[in-house]
Every structure is written in C-alpha cells, then in structure tokens.
Amino acid sequence: MRRFSWFNATSLTLGFAFLYLPMVLLVIYSFNGGRLVTVWAGFSTKWYGELLRNKDFLNAAWVTLKVAVASSTLATILGTMAAYVLVRVGRFPGRTLFSGMIYAPLVMPEVITGLSLLLLFIGVGIDRGVFTIVLAHTTFAMCYVSVVVSSRLVTFDQSLEEAALDLGSSPFEAFRLVTLPIIAPAVISGWLLAFTLSLDDLVIASFTTGPSATTLPIKIFSAVRLGVSPEINALSTIMIGIVTVGVVTASLITKRAAVAQARDEQAAARVTT
C-alpha cells in the first residue's frame, strides 16, 4: 500500500482550495452587512430579506424550477426508454444512427445546440417561452440519463426478468415489477443529473427563451454584467445549499438501495443453496 506523501497531500489541498474556496468566500460575504461585496462591514442577513422581496429573482426562480422539473422528468422517461432499447434490443436497422443521435448532444457545443433549436422553433412557428426551454433542456439532458441508465442495465441480471416471464408476467409487468425497482437508483441519479443540468444551463436557455420566460441563470448573468450585488451572493448561497442537500440525499438513497439490494441477493443465494 502506497504511503500518503506530502506531495499528494499538497496537491489534494490545492485542488480542493481551487474548487471550493471561492464558494466559501461567496457564502461568507452573503452575510456581509455592507453593499460592497469585497469589504466586510459586519454580519447581517438583510440581503436574504431583500432577495425575498425581489420579484424579478423570485419569478425567474419559479420559471427555472418549473423548467427543471418538467425537462428532467421528460428526459428521464425518454432516456430510460432509449437506454433500454440500446441495451436490450438486438441489432435492428438504424441502430448505429439511433445511438449516434442519442449521444450526439454529449459532444455537441451548446452554442450549436441552442442555435439549431432556435432555428427549429422559428421554422415550426412555436413561440419561445417555458415550453421551448423545456423541449431544449429535455433534448440535451436525455443523453446523460441514457448513459447513466445504460451503465446499470449492462450489469443487470436478465435471468430475473426471465423468471418473472416464466411465472406468467407480461413483458411490461416484468419491467415494472422487476427491472425498474432494481435500476431505480440509476434512474433517480439520471433525474438528479438532468435536474442539475437544467438549473445550471445558460447558453441553450438564452437561445430558446422568450420575453415572458427568464430563467434564473439568465437573470443572474444579466445582473452580474452591471456589477455583483450582495443579493446575488445570497441567492448563490441558497442555490449551493439546495444542491448540497440534494447531493447528500441522493447519496444516502443510493447507498441504502445498494445495501438493500445486496441483502436481497444474499437472501436469494441462501434460498437457492
């Protein structure tokens, strides 16, 4: 076993400092009593109160949450279906093209994706707003869900589905009662990933949004161009807290599901032996 050298410790410390020190400073200065974000003027929570009274930020946050929930749900459904087809269905005409279209948004620049979707919506005659943002986010988030679910389906024991079919279940019942509960951690992880990507997106949303639908990243970007205000620090702190709680919750759910699955497999092994 290799020893943890000073070089490894220094590299690890510098790496974590580079990633998280700006966030820590942002959280600290969100409680700054002064308006200048770089000059400490005493502890205060007044900017959180100002943020709650800012209707523009609240409306943008509500639009962002609606878009994130809708797009992540659609992306999870479509991505899970695409992953099931790619992993379980054998060779079929157009399989290579289908898989290429699924994974293309992973390597496609966001500017190209946003511009192409904008031209599509203009050509079809769809008014840009919440609906177009949901479609756009579903388009690029679906491939991430497909990758996550595919990795779980590859290691899935198909004999469990075959046993359910032998016992009289239909293919849909076998998927609903056997496959879906087992791959549920991967599906949940895919949904959380799609939800996070939707919350974070700025480029694609800026191409597909309209005057009646401004997401929170667009609102923050527009406000930062005029100067960073303490309200933005407070808003960013709240978003960091929400993401942290979501990540910890997802980790606990995944860990408990893995432990329960291992316990069930051990019980099944005892029964068969």
Mean pLDDT to the nearest integer, 247-262: 74
Question: CB-based contacts of 126: which residues, under 8 Å, 6+ apart?
Answer: 132
For residue 24, being part of any structural domain is answered with no
Q: List pLDDT tens digits, range 26-66.
A: 888 888 887 777 777 778 888 888 888 888 888 888 899 89
List Cβ neighbours of 100 (8 Å cut-off, separation of 6 or more): none
Q: Which residue has the higher pLDDT, 144 or 268?
A: 144
Say what the pLDDT of residue 242 is: 80
Residue 86 sits in a domain of what CATH number? 1.10.3720.10
Any domain includes 3? no
> What percent of the chain has pLDDT above 70?
93
Q: What is the pLDDT of residues 168-195, one digit of tens each?
A: 778 778 888 888 888 888 888 888 889 8
Average pLDDT, the chain: 83
End-to-end CA distance of the chain: 37
Containing structural domain, residue 63: 55-272
pLDDT at residue 209 greater than cutoff 70: yes
pLDDT for 9: 82
Inside any domain, residue 189: yes
Comparison of pLDDT for 118 and 242, the residue scoring more = 118
Residue 120 belongs to a domain: yes
Q: Is residue 261 part of a domain?
A: yes
Residue at 11 is within a domain: no
Nearest to 204 by CA among 55, 68, 56: 68
Kindly state whether residue 13 falls inside one of the protein's structural domains.
Answer: no
| Number of domains into which the chain is organized | 1
If pLDDT is split at 50, 70 and 90, which confidence band does 271 have? low
Per-residue model confidence as pLDDT tens digits over 56-101: 888 888 899 899 999 999 999 999 988 888 887 767 777 778 777 8
Residue 14: inside a domain: no
